[in-house]
Amino acid sequence: MAVDTYESGAVTSDILLHAGQARVEHILVSCGATGGTWELNDSTDDSGNDKIGGFAPPNTVTPIPLPNGLNFLTAVWVDIQPGTNVYISVRYTER
């Protein structure tokens, strides 16, 4: 059975990235002058279980490879701190 892989493109605010089960394989976080926090939640809104997150320092680009993948059972929700210039790109497969 073929598995489809998706790349989110640059996400700059809270969004439901994928509804349903998924496996996140890579995250790219970049930030401009202000820095800011970000999270990926296992839910259809930002009230769910935080699976991974961090602080993006100002003027950085940080690749986060997940060679074993990170499984999401409900959905993949991107949560970015309001008022920052954090950009996140997520590569994932549907489950």
User: 5-94: what fold?
Assistant: Jelly Rolls (2.60.120)
- Token readout for 87 is 């950009």
pLDDT in tens, 17-70: 999 999 999 999 999 998 899 999 999 998 888 999 999 999 999 999 999 999
Answer whether 21's CB lies under 8 Å from 59's CB: no
* pLDDT average, residue stretch 85-92: 94
Q: What is the pLDDT of residue 90?
A: 96
Answer whether 79's CB lies under 8 Å from 11's CB: no
* pLDDT average, residue stretch 1-12: 79
Domains of the chain, by residue range, sit at: 5-94
Q: What is the pLDDT of residue 95?
A: 80
Q: What is the pLDDT of residue 1?
A: 47
Which residue did the predictor score with more confidence, 1 or 14? 14
Provide the pairing of β-strand 75-80 with 49-56. Answer: unpaired
